[in-house]
């Protein structure tokens, strides 16, 4: 039956689709990952530029912008979490050959993004000052942060849909579509940012509100483009109107994997809240330092997340198709790629920290605080890299609760207590130190847990016992 929402496709129209169950793993991983890497890297660059432009206004503006970061992380938590659940479920259904359930998953993503987006707008407008004070705002920072927040929340339905649809495109073997959608957001936002912040040309000077309007424009464009791709460029998701109606079984399946991811992204938002409240006692320069370090560190993390995004549908498909040895090989290749990239990036940032920070500010006091903080932040990226791959392994095979547990250990049981303990011993520098110490401890736990899971998969598939366990970075096996 022809879709009610999608047009007919000419018989000669060729669609480039990556087959996740065949071919060499490294080229496929790169093809699956690089669009996400480029898209997320562009997002990180856009965030950096956003920070750079706002830093030209004042350190107080950067501090206010940093205060709103956890609220935006809540929006992202919902979009990423539901998207992860939908992508994982769809990839497993494609692997198992159940195309009807994979198609219905896309319809549920449209429904959830609209419902959740409207709910976020209503809640934010009902309690803006409560939210901002909870996240550490006060005085002039509260006024600046409120002006930004009440604008940026208006585009949340489009932002949520963009994030959710990205995972559906990757699950269908079309990662380029997710890249195009995100690039449209970052490209438009980056162009409008300085024009609206400073009032260049015919544009009015709107300050922090200009940054919000630039982001809204980009998110609206990206959300609509994602909808167009889903309806007209992805034959696997050829939707009928009935697919948009709530389907409790599909929604439950999505949330079995996605809800833990939502919860853990919310926990990360709580971590940012604690960062903000802890650093608020050291002044606005400490908060500005946090914002800058997060953006620079985010450049590397976005690429690592991109590798993880490539891994997730590949292992999900392999599990659904019972290609167990291929699943194990995928993790092995991904771990090595991520570690090499993280090592090179860490060295570049460590030795070029002063030059990099000089692009953001010429405030000597802020530079004196930010340079050592940045070096501390990036010191354990080589351990965070494989951890991200292993966590995406669990998400891909539908074990969202396990991934949540591992991330909860890292962020809640390790990072938050260490932040309090180290700050009481070392003051402001102790806040920065908590990050690498918790990352190192979490690496050991996640490595052991993923190694156990991969040995079980190897046994299930009858993979030879002398095959290397991908939890071993050295490749020596167990």
- Cβ–Cβ under 8 Å, residues 203 and 141: no
From CA 356, how far away is CA 329, in angstroms rounded? 37
Q: How far apart are CA 146 and CA 159, in angstroms?
A: 19
Predicted local confidence at residue 386, as pLDDT: 95
Q: What is the pLDDT along the chain (478 residues), one digit of tens a residue?
A: 334 343 333 333 344 566 777 778 888 888 877 887 787 778 777 877 887 888 888 877 877 887 887 777 788 878 888 888 888 888 888 877 777 888 888 889 999 999 999 999 999 999 988 888 877 777 778 888 899 999 999 999 999 999 898 888 888 878 788 889 989 999 999 999 999 999 987 888 898 899 999 999 999 999 999 999 888 877 777 777 787 888 888 888 888 777 777 777 777 777 877 887 888 778 778 888 888 888 788 778 888 888 887 888 888 888 888 888 889 889 999 999 999 999 999 999 999 888 888 887 777 888 888 888 899 988 999 999 999 999 989 888 888 788 888 888 888 889 889 988 998 888 888 888 998 999 999 999 999 999 999 988 888 766 554 444 444 443 333 3
- Residues near 104 by beta carbon (within 8 Å), at least 6 away in sequence: 243, 247, 250
Q: Which residues contact 375 (CB under 8 A, 6 or more apart)?
A: 349, 350, 353
C-alpha to C-alpha distance for 195 and 138, rounded to whole angstroms: 28
- Give the DSSP letter string of 235-302: GGG---GGGGS--HHHHHHHHHHHHHHHHHHHHHHHHHHHHHHHHHTT-HHHHHHHHHHHHHHHHHHH
The residues spanned by each domain of the chain are: 25-461
- Going by the DSSP 8-state scheme, the letter that residue 11 receives in this structure is T
| SS3 state of residue 427 | coil
Distances (CA, A) of 85 to 46, 139, 372, 398, 450: 26, 40, 38, 8, 19
Radius of gyration in angstroms for the set of CA atoms belonging to the chain, rounded to a whole number: 22
Instruction: Determine the pLDDT at residue 16.
Output: 59
Distance in angstroms between the alpha carbons of the first and the last residue of the chain: 52
- Sign of torsion over alpha carbons 255, 260, 263, 264: negative
**C-alpha to C-alpha distance for 367 and 364, rounded to whole angstroms:** 5
Please give the pLDDT value at position 234.
73
Q: Contact 181/42 with Cβ under 8 angstroms?
A: no
How many CA within 13 A on the CB side of residue 254? 32
Regarding pTM above 0.75, the answer is no
| CA 30 – CA 44 distance, rounded (Å) | 20
The residues near 156 (Cβ < 8 Å, ≥ 6 apart) are 75, 116, 117, 120, 121
């Amino acid at each position: 039956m022809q879709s009610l929402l999608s047009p007919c496709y000419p018989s000669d129209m060729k669609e480039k689709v990556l087959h996740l169950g065949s071919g060499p793993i490294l080229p496929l991983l790169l093809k699956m990952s690089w669009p996400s890497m480029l898209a997320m890297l562009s997002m990180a660059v856009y965030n950096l530029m956003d920070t750079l432009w706002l830093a030209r206004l004042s350190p107080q503006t950067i501090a206010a912008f940093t205060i709103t970061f956890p609220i935006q992380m809540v929006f992202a938590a919902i979009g990423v979490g539901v998207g992860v659940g939908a992508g994982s479920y769809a990839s497993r259904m494609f692997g198992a050959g159940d195309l009807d359930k994979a198609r219905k998953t896309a319809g549920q993503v449209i429904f959830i993004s609209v419902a959740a987006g409207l709910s976020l707008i209503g809640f934010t407008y009902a309690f803006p000052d409560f939210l901002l004070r909870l996240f550490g705002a006060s005085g002039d920072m509260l006024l600046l942060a409120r002006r930004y927040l009440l604008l940026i929340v208006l585009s949340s339905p489009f932002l949520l849909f963009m994030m959710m649809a990205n995972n559906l495109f990757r699950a269908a073997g079309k990662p380029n579509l997710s890249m195009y959608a995100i690039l449209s957001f970052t490209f438009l936002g980056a162009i409008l940012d300085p024009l609206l912040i400073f009032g260049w040309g015919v544009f009015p000077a709107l300050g922090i509100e200009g940054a919000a309007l630039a982001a809204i424009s980009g998110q609206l464009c990206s959300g609509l483009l994602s909808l167009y791709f889903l309806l007209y460029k992805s034959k696997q998701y050829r939707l009928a109107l009935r697919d948009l109606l709530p389907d409790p079984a599909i929604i439950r399946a999505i949330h079995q994997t996605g809800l833990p991811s939502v919860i853990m992204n919310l926990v990360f938002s709580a971590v940012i809240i604690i960062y903000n409240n802890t650093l608020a006692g050291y002044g606005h320069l400490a908060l500005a330092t946090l914002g800058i370090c997060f953006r620079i560190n985010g450049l590397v993390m976005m690429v690592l997340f991109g590798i993880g995004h490539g891994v997730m549908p590949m292992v999900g498909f392999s599990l659904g198709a019972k290609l167990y040895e291929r699943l194990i090989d995928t993790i092995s290749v991904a771990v090595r790629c991520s570690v090499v990239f993280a090592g090179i990036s860490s060295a570049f940032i460590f030795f070029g920290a002063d030059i990099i920070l000089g692009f953001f500010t010429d405030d000597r006091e802020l530079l004196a605080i930010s340079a050592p903080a940045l070096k501390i932040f990036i010191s354990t990226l080589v351990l965070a890299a494989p951890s991200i791959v292993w966590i995406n392994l669990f998400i891909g095979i539908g074990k969202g609760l396990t991934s949540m547990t591992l991330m909860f250990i890292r962020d809640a049981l390790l990072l938050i207590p260490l932040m309090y303990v180290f700050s009481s011993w070392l003051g402001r520098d102790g806040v920065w130190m908590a990050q690498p110490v918790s990352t190192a401890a979490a690496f050991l736990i996640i490595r052991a847990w993923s190694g156990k899971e991969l040995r079980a998969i190897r046994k299930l598939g009858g993979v030879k016992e002398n095959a290397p366990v991908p939890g071993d970075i050295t490749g020596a096996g167990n």
